[in-house]
């Protein structure tokens, strides 16, 4: 089993480029199967979730290959509409395949998805949206059999602006006759990027980034070469790593407008931040101060995927911080590990109260989910002594060699293997 060994106390410094966004690449990979020819995804990160998605589309009959930093998907030989259960269980985003498979074949068999254990994340909104387009469902033996023979454009109103459900309906509607409206749609930058990608293939999608998305079905989509947006969560994590270590870094290929909520909190903590169209510079103070309160919300609110990183910063900030998690109910499972490192964190249901301590100390901790693992690494970077972070395969789901990124900025971090 691999783990990170981190010796804390080294301020991060230097420049690093941000790779394409995991949460943009995965739905783009799914949407690729709607094309009638080859799709090239440029700067596709070498992360576990992307590799698993490539395995899924390959199992469905597509040809895939990695060429340098790009991923190529050729859908010409795709004939299967049954998603492999073993692969689906590895990846929450496997549910994105339901919409495009239905769009292409008018039928699909899918499994309930896997991924990090950070909450229930039911797929009822996905099913509700597709049902409004005429899809019927039958569940048997843990699999969902979808009949799209009567698919048509429809009008959908989501009770909650679910990212995955919004993307699934967008993809299902692209090749479906008629007009589809999605109301109370998710507004994340990755939704806008999926619209750009689909339109580059010949789709007719508009309104992404607003509360209502409009899709006019077309007869076919063609292949394209496309570069997804940079990963705002990786960028935010690296900014937080520099902040917690008292460092100064520059991010290249980083889009500051997508990080407004995060940048605002870092400035509240005393960080100096400057940015241009594609770079962000951060210089941290000698010691951070509390930003007071934070609540996670759908975009443009504070992203749930950056919540634990801000908790890690708050652990040694001057003052008391209150963080409320409104998106996923199990996002504080790592609180005990932070306390094991000397933090003073009290959990009340979906809210934590963090009283900043002078310093953390090294300990043996374990990632319980992707972002929680990243947060523990940030705490380790600022802690005295050596910290062992286990279960790093969860961190690999969303960061392309996080230890290499951090080591390139001066951190003392190594990936090791437990051979016992």
Distance, CA of 387 to CA of 365 (rounded, Å): 7
Distance, CA of 297 to CA of 261 (rounded, Å): 10
DSSP 8-state symbol, 366? E
Q: Return the CA Rg of the chain.
A: 21
Catalytic residues: 116
Long-range contact list for 119-122, CB < 8 A, 24+ apart? Answer: 119/327, 119/328, 119/329, 119/330, 119/331, 120/329, 121/92, 121/328
| φ/ψ (deg, to 5) at 294 | -150, 140
In 160-255, alpha helices (H): 163-173, 189-200, 232-244
According to DSSP, the β-strands at 412-417 and 2-7 are antiparallel
Indicate left, alpha or beta for 246 from its phi (over 0: left) and psi (-120 to 50: alpha): left
Distance, CA of 59 to CA of 50 (rounded, Å): 14
To the nearest 10°, the Cα dihedral for 223, 227, 228, 232?
Answer: 180
Those residues with Cβ within 8 angstroms of residue 108's Cβ, 6 or more apart along the chain or in another chain? 81, 82, 83, 97, 98, 101, 102, 145, 146, 148
């Amino acid at each position: 089993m691999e783990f990170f060994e981190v010796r804390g106390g080294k301020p991060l410094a230097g420049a690093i480029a941000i790779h394409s966004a995991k949460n943009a690449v995965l739905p783009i990979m799914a949407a690729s199967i709607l094309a009638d020819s080859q799709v090239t995804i440029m700067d596709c990160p070498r992360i576990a979730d992307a590799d698993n998605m490539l395995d899924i589309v390959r199992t469905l009959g597509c040809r895939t290959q990695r060429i340098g930093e790009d991923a190529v998907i050729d859908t010409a030989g795709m004939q299967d509409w049954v998603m492999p259960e073993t692969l689906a269980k590895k990846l929450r985003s496997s549910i994105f395949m339901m919409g495009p498979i239905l769009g292409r074949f008018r039928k699909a068999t899918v499994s309930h998805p896997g991924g990090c254990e950070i909450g229930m994340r039911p797929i009822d909104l996905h099913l509700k949206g597709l049902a409004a387009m005429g899809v019927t469902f039958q569940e048997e033996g843990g699999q969902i059999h979808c009949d799209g023979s009567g698919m048509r454009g429809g009008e959908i109103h989501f009770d909650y602006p679910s990212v995955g459900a919004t993307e699934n309906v967008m993809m299902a509607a692209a090749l479906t006759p008629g007009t589809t409206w999605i109301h109370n749609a998710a507004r994340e930058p990755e939704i806008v990027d999926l619209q750009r990608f689909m339109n580059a293939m010949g789709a007719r999608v508009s309104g992404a980034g607003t509360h209502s998305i409009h899709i006019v079905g077309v007869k076919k989509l063609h292949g394209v070469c496309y570069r997804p947006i940079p990963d705002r969560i990786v960028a935010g994590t690296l900014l937080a790593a520099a902040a917690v270590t008292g460092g100064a870094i520059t991010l290249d290929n980083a889009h500051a407008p997508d990080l407004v909520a995060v940048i605002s909190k870092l400035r509240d903590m005393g960080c100096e931040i400057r940015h241009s169209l594609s770079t962000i510079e951060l210089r941290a103070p000698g010691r951070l101060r509390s930003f007071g309160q934070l609540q996670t919300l759908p975009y443009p609110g504070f992203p749930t995927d950056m919540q634990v990183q801000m908790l890690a910063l708050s652990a040694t900030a001057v003052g008391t911080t209150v963080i409320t998690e409104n998106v996923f109910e199990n996002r504080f499972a790592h609180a005990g590990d932070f306390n094991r490192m000397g933090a003073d964190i009290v959990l009340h249901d979906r809210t934590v109260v963090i009283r900043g301590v002078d310093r953390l100390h090294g300990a043996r901790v374990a990632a319980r989910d992707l972002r929680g693992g990243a947060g523990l690494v940030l705490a380790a970077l600022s802690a005295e002594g050596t910290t062992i972070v286990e279960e790093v395969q969860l961190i690999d789901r969303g960061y392309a060699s996080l230890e290499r990124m951090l080591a390139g900025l001066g951190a003392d971090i190594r990936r090791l293997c437990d051979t016992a």
